[in-house]
A = this chain, B = another copy of it.
Amino acid sequence: MTRQNVRGLEVVLADGTVVRSLNKLIKNNTGYDWPQLFIGAEGTLGVVTRVVLALHPPVRSRQTALCAIRDFDAALAILRFLEEEIPGRLLAFEAMWPDFYGFATRTAGVSAPLPGDAPLYLLVETSLPDQENLEAPLAVLLERGLLHDAVLAKSEEERRKLWAIREVPAEYARHFRGGSVKFDVGIPLGHMGEAVGTLRDLIDRSWPEATAVFYGHVADSNLHLVLGRLDGAVLPQHEIEDAVYGIVSRFEGSVSAEHGIGRRTKAYLPLSRSPDELGLMRLIKGAIDPLGLLNPGKVL
């Protein structure tokens, strides 16, 4: 998470005051940690003009595997196993549901290193010293029945090909000529498998003509869903948003995991935040930007 790498901020407030905390310390308990409030506020509290970021050593070696697994519970078990066995080494842990894998490998034509009939795919990338260090834990996972199949990239070229599957969202515009309806939601990990099933049923029932693909940054409890029509027709965006955000809210999810609240998602904010929370946010906004000058119409 970016928040954890932000050590200090300089912001300009609505009245022109420049407030500066170019802190480099890891622990600093001197009054309110006000920069936290400006992170993710979409510029509605102040304009960020400088940032102190924590840096991490460059990754010296990457191992990348595409895995076919039985369900989302297996994904969680694999995540926990890798976090315990090789802590601090996981660079990516991406789940791709079969609709997504099918869209990438059949519709978008990316080469398919594994058959398309698995219930769930994972793209796992690590920063271990060498290839063998990932082969060993994958072998344990195969033995325990948590992995059905796996392909380990043997070269940078193979690694790029595995990532091309996951990066297929860049192709949406070409295939969904009528536009797409996109979601960036947070779902508690314990509910994510079930939530995807519920959303899939809803879509199959209500918009059977839509192509709907699910993928997620599992380690961040972040799920993406994109709907579009291959025949170029337009989908009913508001109707779909109402239904999808309703289900997300039932699973105690959030209507924005990483992209923040802009004009479009603002209407759904009360699904993720209580009236008292929104009241507190308005109180803070009113105190810091009483004339409502900064990025009006966003967040609140």
Contact = CB atoms under 8 A, between A and B. Distances in A.
A220 interface: yes
Nearest to A44: B32
Contacts of A23: 254
A258 B29 contact: yes
Given A36-B37, A277-B19, A287-B283, A31 B299 contact: yes
Interface stretch (A82-90, A117-125, A174-182, A207-215): A82-90
A252 B19 contact: no
Contacts of A221: 24-27
Contacts of A131: none
A276 B17 contact: yes
Interface in A273-294: 273-274, 276-281, 283-288
Contacts of A252: 24
A260 B29 CA distance: 5
Contact of A29 (B253, B256, B279, B283): B256
A57 interface: yes
A272 B30 contact: yes
A209 B300 CA distance: 60
A33 interface: yes
A154 B241 CA distance: 60
A220 B276 contact: no
A interface secondary structure, majority? loop
Contact of A28 (B21, B83, B186, B284): B186
A122 B220 CA distance: 34
Contact of A269 (B30, B37, B260): B30
Of A25, A37, A269, A278, most buried by chain B (CB within 10 Å of CB) is A25
A269 B219 CA distance: 38
Interface string A218-243: 01111000000000000000000000
A40 interface: yes
Contacts of A112: none
B26 A261 contact: no
A33 B36 contact: yes
A57 B80 CA distance: 9
A153 interface: no
A136 interface: no
Contacts of A222: 26-27
Q: Which 5 pairs of residues, A with B, have the shortest CB-CB distance?
A: A88-B88, A87-B88, A287-B287, A36-B36, A25-B186
Given A24-B221, A88-B88, 9 more contacts: A17-B276, A19-B276, A25-B221, A28-B272, A30-B269, A31-B299, A31-B300, A37-B37, A283-B287
20 contacts: A17-B276, A21-B274, A21-B277, A25-B186, A26-B220, A27-B220, A27-B254, A28-B257, A29-B256, A29-B258, A29-B261, A31-B278, A31-B299, A33-B39, A34-B277, A37-B284, A57-B80, A87-B89, A284-B284, A284-B287
